[in-house]
Amino acid sequence: KVTVRTGEIEYAGTNSYVYCMLIGERGESQRISLDKYLQRDLHRGDVEQYDIPSDQDIGNIWFVKLEVTKYIVEDYWFCLSVLVETPSGETLHFPCYKWLNNCTILLREGTAKRLCDDKLPVFLTHRQAELEEKLKVIRWKAFSPNFPRCIDADTEEELPMDLKFSNEKSKDFTSSGILVFIDLFLKKFTCMFQDSWTSTEDFNQIFQDVESKASVFVKDHWKEDWFFGYQFLNGCNPVLVRKCEMIPKNFPVTDAMVQASLGKSKLKQEIKNGNIFIADYKMLDGIVANVIKGVQQYLAAPICLLYLDKQNRLMPIAIQLKQTPGGENPIFLPSDPELDWLLAKMWVRSSEFQVYQMVSHLLKTHLLAEVFCIATIRKLPSVHPIYKLLTPHARFTLEINTRGRNQLMPENGAMNRALGVGVQGHISLSQSEFLAITYRSLCLPESLEDRGLGDLKGYYYKEDGLQIWSAIHNTRAELCKFLTMVIFTCSAQHAAMNNGQYDWNAWVPNSPCSMRKPPPTSKGTVTMKDIMESLPGISQSCVQMAITWHLSRTQPQVRMLGDYHEEHFTEAAVQATIQEFREELAGIGRSIQVRNEGLDQKYEYLSPVNIENSITI
């Protein structure tokens, strides 16, 4: 008896001719059509049983053979799995989870097998044939020198069916894009009679319909120094700040400069006490700035010094906006005129926006995840335990990245329309940062250790991230560490980078996507007019709000971390381990919820209920 399961997603059913045969160690069964007379078969969500006769005892069943040929037109079938009940009462599970059309496929029983576990030539031949077929259709492409390689597909239409969005996901992506366009138009329409704004409060005109409580909190507190420091730990980019072991030679901060912040203490003593931290944007030095609609944009490469005060707040105490010290590159201080200090912080936040979007988010989650996805598909047969482990974390990633290259990076794409770095600046920045990536930097415990942040309190990205890392980590030490890094990158790290985009960036003055005037070269001269002429214009601000909403909104058909909807693993022991993993994640979620009840600004991005299994947006 054979039970055939068809997927529940749109268009999963088929009118194609489908035939099934069992192949065993002693021979083959009869070939039957999966088409019951006058009955509906293989439609969306169907679970159908069939009897497959055999003229002989075929022994242990090695493969389920499925043949799919078109009826009149091309008509894909999404087969979930085939269950086989033998005459002795044994039930065998043959996972599929593939779109099938005009093809013949041999499904193996679901028990995970390494190469060394397969002794029979027939299984070794099957493994090799599967890999050879995948190598033909999944190919590498060099996007740019010193850049992560990507899938060889110019558009999402060129991707194999199994790597594409579901129809529901595709329709939602398109419709949300239309909503973004409408929102952009309406925001611009409300400001159509203004050439520019005169104060930061004018940004309220495009902020009126914002429902995010976190975004409203940002708007209310963005000017405050404690909140500026807080964002280094729990904002969109909590991976740059590090403990300061020594003041850099190109950042000549003196005790006199920071006396108002440190009181009677000295810099050297506070560094020794572990209370001085630094955020250095040297990677932006020399990057060519964008030109938007004929208007030159500007970049800075700031260095920001922060002090962990007695209230456990990370407070900015000195900001230098360029890497080379000098008379026209002053060190700005909290004791400076209010607008001088505000503009200096804005420059840091704008630099943060560039590095966060291009490096921490795009390069170190999306593009690295694409490399992991392609390598997994090309080099591991579907019966391999690591393929089974990683494949849920590759879902939809290749299509979202392919769309990103087509929609964000062209000359008329969102990147060139809004960001200070632009496309060419992005490539230069990503090339240098890609070459600087180390394995340790991708492993959360080691990254935190190397940045000296292991003991820092109120660092919720660290606290929650380490819990998720530990939950994923529970096998063989070094292999487990590598696989944990891959899964964490494709799930939790992306959630931490992506999910708060709108929360932190909807109030544009807090995170300007670009700056329209060069950094100030002296103190005591900044006016509100200078600030408003530096901040993004109306059009850029609308684009920033629209794009960050589009990229961080709740997605359809989400599968959260621990949701292994497709049963690639069929062994009872593995299913028990997966259930233990889910229970551990649920416990982490409860502890985060309790912690957040006492916080004014909740940190929820690494709650397991908000972590998608893979990068799909």
- Outline where DSSP puts E strands in 51-90: 61-69, 77-85
CA 492 – CA 497 distance, rounded (Å): 9
CA 400 – CA 150 distance, rounded (Å): 12
Mapped onto helix, strand or coil, the DSSP state of residue 108 is strand
Annotated ligand binding at 117? The verdict is no
User: Would you give the distance in Å from CA 493 to the centre of its chain?
Assistant: 7
Give the pLDDT of residue 582. 94
CA 378 – CA 398 distance, rounded (Å): 13
CA 187 – CA 184 distance, rounded (Å): 5
* Structural domain count, the chain: 1
pLDDT over 90 percentage in the chain: 83
Nearest-5° Cα angle at 583, 578 to 588 = 125
In a domain, 57, yes or no: yes
Lowest mean pLDDT among 29-38, 51-60, 148-157, 234-243: 29-38
Give the pLDDT of residue 419. 93
Domain region containing 48: 2-109
- Residue position matching structure tokens 């400001």: 191
Give the pLDDT of residue 188. 67
Task: Show the tokens assigned to 256.
Answer: 């006199």
Annotated ligand binding at 494? The verdict is yes
Q: Residue 177 contacts by C-beta under 8 Å, 6 or more apart in sequence? A: 550
In a domain, 16, yes or no: yes
In a domain, 227, yes or no: no
Q: How confident is the model at residue 251 (pLDDT cuts 50, 70, 90)?
A: very high
Annotated ligand binding at 13? The verdict is yes
* Whether 181 contacts 412, CB under 8 Å: no
In a domain, 40, yes or no: yes
In a domain, 434, yes or no: no
Q: Are strands 276-280 and 242-243 parallel, antiparallel or unpaired?
A: antiparallel
pLDDT digits (tens, 9 = 90+) for 181-224: 787 777 766 666 565 678 899 888 888 888 899 999 999 999 99
CA 486 – CA 358 distance, rounded (Å): 19
CATH of the domain at 44: 2.60.60.20
- Burial annotation 354-374 (CB, 10 A radius, 16+ → b, else e): bbbbbbbbbbbbbbbbbebbb
CA 165 – CA 403 distance, rounded (Å): 11
Annotated ligand binding at 384? The verdict is no
Beta bridge mates, 605: none
In a domain, 121, yes or no: no
Annotated ligand binding at 75? The verdict is yes
pLDDT digits (tens, 9 = 90+) for 69-105: 988 888 999 999 999 999 999 999 999 999 999 999 9
Closest CA to 75 of 32, 156, 11, 19: 11
Question: How many Cα atoms occupy the beta-carbon half-sphere of 52 within 13 Å?
Answer: 31
CA 384 – CA 134 distance, rounded (Å): 14
Annotated ligand binding at 472? The verdict is no
In a domain, 256, yes or no: no
In a domain, 26, yes or no: yes
Give the pLDDT of residue 555. 80
